[in-house]
Amino acid sequence: MVINKEKQGWYLRWPLGETPHRTILSHIHGETDFLPRNSCVFHPTAALTAAALSMSAGDEKLLRDNLTELDYHDILTVAYAHTERDKIGMCLASRVRDDTLQIAVVLRGTEGDEWYSNFDLGYTAEHSGFAKAADFAELKLGDYVFTHAIGLQPSFFVTGYSRGGAVANILAKRLCDRYGLERVCAYTFASPNTTISRRTNRYTCIFNLERQEDFFTRVPPAGWGYTKYGKTISLSDIGDMTAGYRALTGEDYIGFTRQSAVNNFLCALQTLAPNVHAYYERRRQIGSRRLSLYEFMRVVAAMLSDHMDADAADIFLSAMVSEYADLMSFLSSGADLTEIIGSGAAIPKCSVADSHSPAAYMASLAVLLPQ
């Protein structure tokens, strides 16, 4: 299918929070196409389109509808039904532009046991959990290119939100290395840090949009040497987004409005573990147990992936009066503690969750890129 070059706008649906059936219809304006000719120049329409795709990735039907609206076809979803720790849900689709097969690669955010992978940093140049998921995504993308790009040169529109953003960041870097920057256009949202490489700035076709009040975007911490490939665009200090959040959700924003809360959290984190080795090996007393920060984060992963048992709940509550108390106070800010322990497979309503939510990013994008 050849794209319709006469189309001058696209109607895409955005999800609101953890309830994918609550959506908002947005008209994204564009003169001819939503992707730029020069992928190394920030393009507002591409950013908004990528945001809609990445944040709708948690709802397979919604994502397929958005891709269809953008004239993509041969839509393929991978690893959506069953989650495994080192894999990732992803969606591939394609369309023809001149002699190029333009492939959309949308990486989904965290589901189920993938939470354990999020906390597995490893000791290599890239975050181990995200890099393993990128290995999986790269393999599936390679199969798609082999079967669909017959007689055509492939190019790639890569995007993801949260864990999906981190995997998109690494995958886009690898595609740049293989195909060149001119064939890759990547926008990530709310991505954690992914690498300790010192050669990140050369990937100028990768744009990472983040809110500094969202602690997910600042871990693993820069104090441990972590950063992201490409350019980072801050959505903080661009104006008040709380009114936009209220207009979108009908609820008051309870997330962080200043970076100081996250800065204090990172200081507490690095006091407990000043480097990656200490993250895995330095143990501190929590109730009757001695746990490293990594071992404690696996308890958090158990809670978020619906594997919370009595032992995990005891560790979580004991941490409130341990050397982990400052971390716990930050992570549970704005939440009911019983709701946190019993939430199961989702981040409960709290300041951390609101700061990281799709609605907060949508409201911030509306301030940065008004339509």
Question: What is the per-residue DSSP string for 234-284?
Answer: E-SSSS--HHHHHHHHSS---S--STHHHHHHHHHHHHH-SSHHHHHH-EE
| Per-residue pLDDT, 370 | 82
pLDDT tens for the chain, residues 1 to 371:
334 444 568 999 988 755 546 788 888 887 678 999 999 999 999 999 999 999 999 999 999 999 999 999 999 999 987 778 999 999 999 999 889 999 999 999 999 999 999 999 999 999 999 999 999 999 999 999 999 999 999 999 999 999 999 999 999 999 999 999 999 999 999 999 999 999 999 999 999 999 999 999 999 999 999 999 999 999 997 778 999 999 988 899 999 999 999 999 999 999 999 999 999 999 999 999 999 999 999 998 988 888 878 888 899 889 999 999 999 999 888 876 665 555 554 566 789 999 999 999 999 999 988 86
pTM: 0.95
Smallest Cα–Cα separation from 49: which of 6, 89, 106, 114? 106
List Cα–Cα distances, 66 to 11, 25, 74, 105, 337, in angstroms: 8, 10, 13, 13, 37
Smallest Cα–Cα separation from 167: which of 201, 203, 208? 208
Q: How many residues does the chain have?
A: 371
| Per-residue pLDDT, 238 | 77
Contact indicator for 244, 357 with CB cutoff of 8 Å: no
Residues paired with 102 in a beta bridge: 95, 155
Contact indicator for 129, 195 with CB cutoff of 8 Å: no
CA-CA distance, 88 to 58, in Å (whole number)?
11
